[in-house]
Amino acid sequence: MAPRPGFPTTRLRRLRYHPAVRRLVRETRLSAESLILPLFARPGKGVRQPIASMPGHAQLSVDLIAEEAKVAAKLGLGGVILFGIPAEKDAAGRDSYSPVGIVQQAIKAAKDAAPDLLVITDVCFCEYTDHGHCGVVDEHTGRPDVNNDKTLELLGRQALSHAQSGANMVAPSGMMDGMVGAIRAALDGGDFEHVPIMSYAVKYASAFYGPFREAAESTPKFGDRRAYQMDPAAAAGQALREVELDLTEGADIVMVKPALAYLDIIRRVAERHPGVPLAAYNVSGEYAMVRAAAERGWIDERAVVLESLTAITRAGAQIVLTYWAKEVAQWLG
């Protein structure tokens, strides 16, 4: 047989024989401190209301949010992100900017229980409005739609109220044009110029949010979110424009969401903006699919989760929001 060029001098398997060599040459490493755990706060005391489509997760009353915050801190997680499900929803989502609203209570409880834990809040209206849309709905465009500019003012109020309750970072997720700038101005006006904004800059109108909407009771009562969240088939360059705009408006960290079906987008944002911290949201539907298959014994949950998070990180995300944050921290030991 004719000698093949490079062989046997070059044998890539040499880097694979010994587990220690495999570990040594790794580039992608997961760590608990880059993971953020989503938590859902609801009214009551001692209430743990399981979320059917997200086994292992529940809506928690504020006292139990405090317990979870302690666990998250102990495990060394990067932080928690809080979502509120108020007792009463209305057209304007008033609970979201009430000083005694559900998420404000949850922030205080989490910070009291675990002062060093990074507490982030989701800034949006869909969990608080009776119609389930991400802002003020009117018909100024000729059909029911979220009024972008009316929503901006309320987003500023909501974010400021979260900061006043002790949130360390706010994360606007409503995909309104100008939301980062409006929130930055509101925070700065309230002397919270030190509170960073993690923007859900690139958020697609995705079917993978289904279980979350059960968790947050936030399914729109009419229509869908396609008039504000991105079209999955849009030019990838549109994602870059979203990121650039948010950075111009003062975003400190940008996010791509969902994660697994959008690894190409994560990679593009990472390459275009190497100096900008990039987060990715491993969303509820991604969680539910793996849990369901694992419950049936069809896949190895731990291996699949670690491989998925490795892929998201390898694509370019430094921060991952995931419903497995606690488990992963334990697995990584």
For residue 89, indicate whether it is catalytic: no
**63 Cβ partners below 8 Å, 6+ apart?**
45, 46, 109
Listed residue (214, 221, 211) closest to 130, CA to CA: 221
Q: How far is the CB of 3 from ligand PBG (least distance, A)?
A: 54
Q: Does 128 bind ligand PBG (CB under 6 A)?
A: no
Q: How far is the CB of 263 from ligand PBG (least distance, A)?
A: 17
Residues numbered 272-331 forming contacts with ligand PBG, rule: CB under 6 A: 283-284
The active-site residue, picked from 74, 203, 221, 326, is: 203
User: Binding string to ligand PBG for residues 79 to 108, with x set by CB under 6 A, is what?
Assistant: ------------------------------
Q: Does 213 bind ligand PBG (CB under 6 A)?
A: yes
User: Binding string to ligand PBG for residues 160 to 189, with x set by CB under 6 A, is what?
Assistant: -------------x----------------
Q: How far is the CB of 241 from ligand PBG (least distance, A)?
A: 20
Q: Does 199 bind ligand PBG (CB under 6 A)?
A: no
Sequence-separated contacts (24+) of 26-30 with Cβ below 8 Å = 27/314, 28/310, 28/313, 28/314, 29/313, 30/306, 30/309, 30/310, 30/313, 30/328, 30/332
Count, residues near ligand PBG per rule CB under 6 A:
11
Pick the piece of the chain touching ligand PBG (CB under 6 A) from 1-9, 209-217, 231-239, 308-316.
Answer: 209-217
Q: Which is nearer to ligand PBG, 12 or 52 (CB)?
A: 52
**248 Cβ partners below 8 Å, 6+ apart?**
none
Query: β-strand 278-282 against 253-257: which pairing, if any?
Result: parallel
**What is the identity of the amino acid at 24?**
L
User: Binding string to ligand PBG for residues 221 to 240, with x set by CB under 6 A, is what?
Assistant: ----x---------------
Pick the piece of the chain touching ligand PBG (CB under 6 A) from 13-21, 27-35, 119-127, 259-267.
Answer: 119-127
DSSP H stretches of helix in 220-296: 236-248, 263-272, 284-295
Beta strand extents in the chain (DSSP E only): 35-42, 48-50, 58-61, 79-84, 119-123, 137-138, 145-146, 169-172, 198-203, 253-257, 278-282, 319-322
For residue 257, indicate whether it is catalytic: yes
Task: Give the residue, chosen from 40, 204, 209, 262, that forms a contact with ligand PBG under the rule CB under 6 A.
Answer: 209
Q: 328 phi and psi, to 5 degrees?
A: -60, -40
Map residue 330 onto helix, strand or coil: helix
What letter does residue 221 receive in the DSSP assignment? S
Q: How far is the CB of 212 from ligand PBG (least distance, A)?
A: 3
Q: Does 192 bind ligand PBG (CB under 6 A)?
A: no
Residues that bind ligand PBG (CB under 6 A): 122, 124, 126-127, 173, 209, 212-213, 225, 283-284
Catalytically active residues are 203, 257
